[in-house]
Chains A and B, each alone.
Chain A
Amino acid sequence: MNIFVLMKRTFDTEEKISISGGKINEDGAEFIINPYDEYAIEEAIQVRDAQGGEVTVITVGSEEAEKQLRTALAMGADKAVLINTEDDLEYSDQFTTAKILAEYLKDKDADLIIGGNVAIDGGSGQVGPRVAELLNIPYVTTITNLEINGSTVTVVRDVEGDSEVIETSLPLLVTAQQGLNEPRYPSLPGIMKAKKKPLDELELDDLDLEEDDVEAKTKTIEIYLPAQKQAGKVLEGELADQVKELVSLLHNEAKVV
């Protein structure tokens, strides 16, 4: 089984966000593997362990993503690939990223491609399905279970809380939803082994792509922080009176009930 994982390096979920020079300030911020991509890596490792084969983790980004790729290798992935666009691309969008990934994957004979269902920074959830479309393979998003039996695949998909049981076949792309598995922490031997595992670095040239081929179709013109909320009103007095006051405030002042 030839398995690929699409991974993104993102801000730690606990980080506060600030802006400088019109951009999200990255100075001193902690970066992690996008949490949904951790489920993808874990699932890929489990599938490989059950079915045999190889797990390759790919990311599109800058050299700084090497750290997260090494973490994925320490978890148990076999190979990592960084497609470094830092020198070539000033601005990219989901079209760009998907096009680059699909170009890399098109001759790799992937049986299974797994990504997170969304990245917690950009939050668009587009790249996985776009890649599947470009490779002309089926996909299922937000999965919570995956069973492979020969070339038949049974997937459980989370649909706003309900579950769909879906039958499909390999090659396939799926995106991971919370609940798919419990991602492991890298073990110490895993971390030692990861240092010797292959981590290839490619640029657009290596994929025979020109900047024009992947030029973004959309553009961010402004980034801003939400308005600071005014401190709220903590009610006082007898509990029963507070409850009455709250209902009255919601009805008459906030007018939401």
Chain B
Amino acid sequence: MARKVLVLGEVRDGQLRNVSYEAVGAAKTIAEGGEVVGVLLGASVSSLAVELIQNGADRVVVVENDKLAQYTSDGYAQGVLAVIESEQPEGLVIGHTSLGKDLSPRIAGKLSSGLISDVTSIEVEGGNIVFTRPIYSGKAFEKKIVTDGLIFATVRPNNIAPLEKDESRTGDVSTLSVDIKDLRTIIKEVVRKATEGVDLSEAKVVVAGGRGVKSEDGFEPLKELAQVLGGAVGASRGACDAEYCDYSLQIGQTGKVVTPDLYIACGISGAIQHLAGMSNSKVIVAINKDPEANIFNVADYGIVGDLFEVVPMLTEEFKKLKVNA
């Protein structure tokens, strides 16, 4: 059954986020040969439409309004609902990011529709679109289908393959004028914190530190390694509780759940609480002084040793690799 599926393109710092291209890939599966329509909201975003099309959208609807310059759930909900009203789609896909998590339940609430959150894979099985998502923080998985109304899902970054970019692809870009009113929440200030550069939830490489890092300064070698690998720094709850780093870096059952290609755990014992946040990473490396540490049970590769010796050596080796590549 061919469907029309909308995809919200999420813009951050003037660029589309990777998860939006992954959402296009998800929409393509749900569309089953139908149409994938990109949706862009913002003050000035129409120039990004071509990116969505080159990455697989058939066409794009742009809603430009100064009141959409910053994300608010009220403003964005009005924008997306107006596009839904005009397009009458059978499906909708949004990234499971801070924005997607905040916005999607409002749209689902308004439409009285289902919503399958935090999806990690999508398949067509026996006429159904089957969504797989982690539950119990990745300790188990469930497969879900939509039984009534809009097929609406948010997709977890780093899990669904984007389509191949084709710079020769073209498609229609149209604008929809929407009167945005009654914003009941006003953003007064945005404070950018430690997470400069690569976003933890979207990073392909995560270098994480635990109690073994011993101090705030102890994170420095981890930051250098992450930088060389183009990755992000994370932490265990123990490191956050000990005030070695900000809670925004915490990975675990409480905290962020990450699924990078490479997860390097440094001085992390591997409590079940922490494993829940990272055990679905594709490749896990453990560096720990204690050969009995639980982290070695989930690691693909392990080095028993002092992280303050091992991590700088690793950084140097990766630098050499990059130079030779």
* A residues adjacent to B (C-beta < 8 A): 11, 13-14, 16-17, 19, 24, 35-36, 93-95, 98, 120-134, 138-142, 154, 158-169, 178-179, 215-226, 229, 231-235, 239-240, 242-244, 246-247, 249-251, 254, 256-257
B285 within 8 Å of A (CB atoms): yes
Interchain Cβ contacts under 8 Å between A and B, 7 examples = A14-B272, A35-B253, A133-B109, A166-B187, A178-B254, A220-B143, A223-B143
Interface residues of B in 1-47 (CB under 8 A from A): none
Closest 10 interchain pairs by CB? A217-B114, A133-B109, A161-B248, A161-B195, A138-B184, A129-B105, A124-B117, A130-B109, A218-B114, A126-B105
B145 within 8 Å of A (CB atoms): yes
Question: Quick one: closest B residue to A156, CB to CB?
Answer: B191
The answer to whether A36 touches B109, judged by C-beta atoms less than 8 angstroms apart, is no
The answer to whether A24 touches B146, judged by C-beta atoms less than 8 angstroms apart, is no
Q: Which of B85-93, B132-140, B173-181 contacts A (4 or more CB under 8 A)?
A: B132-140
Q: Which of B54-62, B162-170, B211-219, B313-321 contacts A (4 or more CB under 8 A)?
A: B313-321
* B residues adjacent to A (C-beta < 8 A): 73-74, 97-98, 101-102, 104-106, 108-110, 112-118, 130, 133-149, 184-195, 199-201, 204-205, 229, 246-250, 253-255, 261-262, 272-273, 276, 279-280, 282-286, 291, 296-305, 309-310, 313-314, 317-318, 321
The answer to whether A161 touches B249, judged by C-beta atoms less than 8 angstroms apart, is yes
B304 CB to closest chain A CB (Å) equals: 6
B288 CB to closest chain A CB (Å) equals: 10
Given A17, A134, A165, A217, which contacts B188 in the complex, CB threshold below 8 Å?
A: A165
Please report the C-alpha to C-alpha distance between residue A35 and residue B291 in the assembled complex, in whole angstroms.
Answer: 31
The answer to whether A223 touches B141, judged by C-beta atoms less than 8 angstroms apart, is yes
A146 CB to closest chain B CB (Å) equals: 13
Given A166-B188, A243-B314, residue A13 in contact with residue B73 (CB < 8 A):
no
Question: Quick one: closest B residue to A153, CB to CB?
Answer: B185
Given A121, A167, A168, which contacts B135 in the complex, CB threshold below 8 Å?
A: A121
The answer to whether A125 touches B117, judged by C-beta atoms less than 8 angstroms apart, is yes
Please report the C-alpha to C-alpha distance between residue A231 and residue B302 in the assembled complex, in whole angstroms.
Answer: 10
Please report the C-alpha to C-alpha distance between residue A123 and residue B141 in the assembled complex, in whole angstroms.
Answer: 11
